Amino acid sequence: MIVSLTGTLAEVQANTVVLDVGGVGYELGVSATTSSALPARGTEDVSLFTRMVVREGAVDLYGFGSRDERRLFDKLVSISGVGPKLALSVLSTFSPGALANVVITDDAKRMATVPGVGKKTASRLIMELGDMFAKDPSLRGLAGSSEPVAAAAPAPASSSVDADVLDALLSMGFTSQEAELALEGRKQVGANSVEAALGYALRRLGRRG
């Protein structure tokens, strides 16, 4: 099993990256949290923890910026009805510490803010993860390793431009966290109109405006 990869960062998008390892390009599904924390394309010696998921007719690789994120991914996909895509959606919405807080405080309402998770699924995820956390003290310890749950919410838009672009990105199906991260740095590059800011954000998310 491939548990980690180190190579040159060949591509970076919101949900996938490509690592060139000795001339072989490995495409990995990633959370928005991991994607946003990666260095610029072309950077060498980039390391990601990985998990291989084998399904009928497909073998997929997923990358994580930390062991804790990978561990929570493993817990999530072990829940009936939760596949890698939904697990990454959860991890794109919450950092490991924030997710631990959500589970420990039994906050199903906040869990339901994850794209693709309704009220019933949120309650079931809280219940299933709660059982896992109860059996593993190290998982409960994640709650003190990061910001409180409230910090996982996106920061308020700093201007009407940010607000308009954020609304547009949310309507396209991006998560709040993806949208906020995509807007970072837009003032520094002079993307001060809604059109320019939206194009800038979409390029960062791997789409053409």
pLDDT in tens, 87-130: 999 999 988 988 998 999 999 999 999 988 989 999 999 999 99
Q: Is the pTM of the predicted complex or chain greater than 0.75?
A: no
pLDDT band at 150 (very low <50, low <70, confident <90, very high): very low
Residues 61, 29 contacting (CB under 8 angstroms): yes
pLDDT for 125 equals 95
**Pairing, β 24-29 against β 58-64:** parallel
Buried residues in 88-121 as b, exposed as e (16+ CB within 10 A) = bbbbbbbbbbbbbbbbbeeebebbbbbeebeeeb
Alpha carbon distances (Å) from 5 to 53, 61, 64, 201: 15, 10, 10, 28
**Pairing, β 16-21 against β 4-12:** antiparallel
Token pair, residue 168, equals 């547009």
Angle ∠(95,149,160) on CA atoms, nearest 5: 85
